[in-house]
A and B are shown apart, each in its own frame.
Chain A
């Protein structure tokens, strides 16, 4: 028996998304940039899909761009800063995905001031952001749902701070959020968040790999690759239409057509609660404002790498936040340290992540296995 509980890493593509992929690849194989009928049909299908997705997200389709995924979406936004005439300051959280935090290093090299804002226990303090704002800040980049422990930032409040400062300095400040772990996982309204841009990735909600969404209200968005000017110049390169259509199908499947709240949200919430109430291990995920799809805990002082290996052998696939290595520190571990968790807790961190297909039986089984192992080898 195999139990896949690493859905924050990636999800299995849904059957209907896969079917949509194959159907689209077969029916709409022509390049949407061509002028003949088949190409124009593909173009129509592309725009139709864009409209569908825009409708689900309840935003204008003018703000929706298709990319290769969350990392590219993030990179497009951050790289656009490099086109500014003179470098300014960017505020970025310490718990960002590597596609943001690594890009910040490039900005630094190019003369930008990169100010990092910490997130104790996974949460950014709005007052702290307020105190860091100044008239040199051009962009604020804060993740929506953290991929390591599932904490949800109060983006609306954080954006409000930035909007107030915009008025005070009388200049635009770009607010970008990486919402890869939020879409089709937690209820939210993109409109109400009032961010300038947000990134999404299809394979986190049972869509295919290599496709994602960049939502941006910026008019003169600079691309990473110009190529043939596709996606209104924001993302050059022939559109990955089969994947885009499959993504739309997967999204609809998770959300339905009218609401931004996943249809299985309440059930997942209960499963998460069951985990929280029954695991003998040390809970790392926050007790409030968390995504029910992610649960992090620590088996410290036992190394998580060994613990997950033991779980793997029993058929449970979960993520180890830390590598048992002196040479390479796992991402999760450094993110946890940035959240002020002790080194020991971080080294023992393990993440379980759920999806709509996760059953109560699976959760009961993994809880039993973790508790058995924890009680026998750690305690």
Chain B
């Protein structure tokens, strides 16, 4: 039985719109210019602040997702026209279809396609691009986003999963130099394709909130580490030596890397920390506690060492065969378990009382 939605009072229409899923809103907006205008006006008045718009361009396939409370919904696809099952008339450079609960647009030009769907969804929902998810073939999107929107990207996920024989070193170098983002995540989907052993980076990294190098961190030198301006740094497959790590700790004690709160290096090299206690003045040993990472994960430590910066700020250092971790103890609430356990708590660091 049809329901004449446009004949309902404004307050009812707003309530119905607010109950729709993001993909349903985008699909409904394709019904008519009039309905699109109504939906657009709704989101101009009520910006969906908790929605995170993600632009994805991986393996030259584009799509736009909306993430809300951890739930991710694709709202629009941009696919190459060669993937159409049957020939269809092209209008304005694309063919519009509907599949898997959302609109799929087939373009002759893939770059135009992703740009067009991002423009459409951001305009409709009154949102900026929050996360950019790309591989080597999507490197160009960094420059485009920087030009296209005033607001800085919050998160950039870089996948090393392209089947094409592009220069991975060049792509990563470009990404590190040009990414203006709060969180930079370098991810790995295909273990066979990594940056070369000779890759080195001589530029600046940061300021950012988080740098997460999830693969091939061998290129991160002591000099890189000292110069990264980030609150949280995770480097996997690091090739830094123990003397390098001691040099970094001395740099931190002297006031270097002042914004750093959490550093974790997963080491690929042989580790021997026997000299640690001789190298630094230790305030406390065998400290236990945890540091809250993302999405409910945390770093737990049982044998931490407490050291102090020249200005009095303390840090716990935890190390083992594979890891070297620095956690900075800021604030008065390092023992406050209740506050630490609260959802969205600012307290990331917890020390257990003995």
**Are A and B a genuine interacting pair, yes or no?**
no
